[in-house]
Amino acid sequence: MKRLLILGAGTAGTMVANRLSRTLDRDEWKITVVDQHDTHYYQPGFLFIPFGIYTKADVVKPRRDFLPPGVELILSPVEVIEAERNRVRLAQDNRWLEYDFLVVATGAQIRPDQTPGLMEHEWRRSIYDFYTLEGALALAKHLRTWKGGRLVVNVVDNPIKCPVAPLEFLMLADWFFHEQGIRDRVELIYATPLSAAFTKPIAAKRLGYLLEQKGIKVVPDFMVERVNPDARKLIAYDEQEVEYDLLVSVPLNMGDEVIARSGLGDALNFVPVDKHTFLSPKYPNLFVLGDAAAVPTSKAGSVAHFAVECFAENFVRYVEGAEMNVRFDGHANCFVESGFGKGLLIDFNYDTEPLPGRYPLPGIGPMTLLEESEVNHWGKLMFRWMYWHILLKGRDLPLPALMSMAGKWRNN
């Protein structure tokens, strides 16, 4: 019996287990998944919680419900991966699990402890995050009675999960405070380490214009070094300062500590792999999928979905000694909620930046690329249903895994 071990049963790990349990011969393969928690979080839903659009019940479900029968689930933190010896130690009972093939899908998490001042006595008083369920719920409570002032969203550094989420937060905040009748008493500021609202030029221009129209000010090239929680100030490495009344931080995102303990990661605990196949250049039986991988595309559930589709096809060939003939192209596809019942869609890959145009989608589309529309907003809300019922179960979406140029306008 060959042993496939998957570390992490989040978005990527769950999809890998579902896809491979259908394609691998179950008489020949034993699939085991390890995760530290028994609850699965729909993280894109955290964005909506501070504004009362979603509640906790919308974003949590038991992990076991999404794994196929016959796949073993072990609930324990992973203490260390010994890739040289093809084994992993569990923290719970110090047990060693041996494997023939390993898929690391331990994701990325926020690390507010890495920025001085962030997690001191003002954490979850005047400083919040929305990248965790606890943070999003605490912020929702705070916003219910907030009387207004200077709200600053700060990204500590990149890469972060879902790089458009901070922009979406600000645009939803603009809508929310209008609804509350206090928009004229709220200043919205985006302090970002980037030189513009987004990384790539066309999207940066279009999103920057949208923020300007909504009265959201961008403070670019702001590399925060520390926070002074008493003076309510962010202080950058170049001594530039940004004052706030309410700080919504997107702290440094890092891979799990088990990656560092196992000597597998880069400075941020992300694991270097081939960007087309996800195979480790060091270990021929170790793949890394999802946010845990150090590849130059967005850390997003949509990317994990497309990547897993390519990987699953390759894996069944690879274990038979054949060549991996699908080359993942970095395809990312994200709805960008822009408030007032509208949203944008961006679709890009390693080589092609987000372009304007019309995204063909059978039955529902076309969706507007880099342009606001109501149908994109409904697409974003529908995504939650698709996540639980289609995406996690490793079923096909009516979207190609590799990016298509259909409907994209090049000269804009």
Minimum distance, C-beta of residue 304 to ligand FAD, in the bound complex (Å): 5
Rounded to a whole number of angstroms, the minimum distance from the CB of residue 49 to ligand FAD is 9
Report the distance separating Cα 412 and Cα 197, nearest Å.
18
Amino acid at 348: F
Q: Which is nearer to ligand FAD, 300 or 324 (CB)?
A: 300
**Residues forming a β-bridge with 332:** 348
Choice between 104 and 242, CB closer to ligand FAD = 104
11/86 with CB nearer ligand FAD:
11
- The DSSP string of 114-149 is GSTTTTSTTBTTTEE-SSSHHHHHHHHHHHHH---E
Number of residues that bind ligand FAD (CB under 6 A): 35
Closest separation between CB of residue 256 and ligand FAD, Å?
Answer: 4
Least Å distance, CB 411 to ligand FAD, is 28
Lookup: tokens for 25: 């011969």
Locate tokens 């790990």: which residue?
13
Q: Does 403 help bind ligand FAD (rule: CB under 6 A)?
A: no
Site residues (CB under 6 A) for ligand FAD, limited to 190-229: none
User: Helix 201-213 crosses helix 165-180 at what angle (to 10 degrees)?
Assistant: 10
| Interaction between residue 17 and ligand FAD (CB under 6 A) | no
Classify residue 390 by its DSSP letter: I
- Least distance between ligand FAD and beta carbon 238 (Å): 28
User: Segment near ligand FAD (CB under 6 A), from 102-110, 265-273, 347-355, 368-376?
Assistant: 102-110
Comparing CB distances to ligand FAD, the nearer of 103 and 189 is 103
Distance CA 299, CA 296 (A): 9
8 binds ligand FAD per the rule CB under 6 A: yes
Helix (H) or strand (E) holding 357: strand 357-359
Return d(Cα 178, Cα 176) in angstroms, integer. 5
Helix, strand, coil in percent for the chain, rounding step 5: 30, 30, 40
Task: Find residue 190's DSSP bridge partners.
Answer: 153, 218
Cβ distance 255 to 264 under 8 Å?
no
Within 198-332, residue ranges assigned H as helices are 201-213, 257-261, 301-318
Cβ at position 28, least distance to ligand FAD in Å:
26
Exactly one of 19, 66, 107, 343 binds ligand FAD (CB under 6 A); that residue is 107
| 286 forms part of the interface with ligand FAD (CB under 6 A) | no
The residue at minimum Cβ distance from ligand FAD is: 10
Given 29, 46, 48, 51, the residue binding ligand FAD (CB under 6 A): 46
Stretch that binds ligand FAD, among 18-26, 103-111, 215-223, 232-240 (CB under 6 A): 103-111
Residues 199, 203, 207: CA angle, nearest 5 degrees: 105
Q: Which chain residues interact with ligand FAD by CB under 6 A?
A: 8-13, 34-37, 43-44, 46-47, 77-78, 105-107, 130-131, 161-162, 165, 256, 258, 290-292, 299-302, 304, 334
